[in-house]
Amino acid sequence: MNREIPPQETHYFASFLLKRDIELDQVETLEDDDLEKLIAETKTISTIDETVNRHKKLMAAYFYEYALLKYQKRIRE
């Protein structure tokens, strides 16, 4: 196990905009506004923000892809 990544940070994304930690299984239950905020925040962190560490960028990218898929599914229904 990589000692730079604390185990508690591997299952959630600490969202600044939502002011809470979001677990992956909570993404589906977010309201549309919160889901849009999560998508915007994770996209910014994973692609633009160069001040965050590598682990947070990777988690943001993972959460971005997952949240975007869930959002697109909602729109289709």
Q: What is the predicted pLDDT for the residue at 54?
A: 87
Q: If pLDDT is split at 50, 70 and 90, which confidence band does 6 have?
A: low
- How many whole angstroms separate alpha carbon 25 and alpha carbon 48? 25
- For residues 23 and 11, is the Cβ–Cβ distance under 8 A? yes
The beta strand positions in the chain, using DSSP E, are 12-15, 20-23
Name residue, tokens 């185990």: 7
pLDDT of residue 1 exceeding 80, the answer is: no
Mean per-residue pLDDT of the chain:
86
Q: What percent of the chain has pLDDT over 90?
A: 61
Mean pLDDT score, 32-50? 93
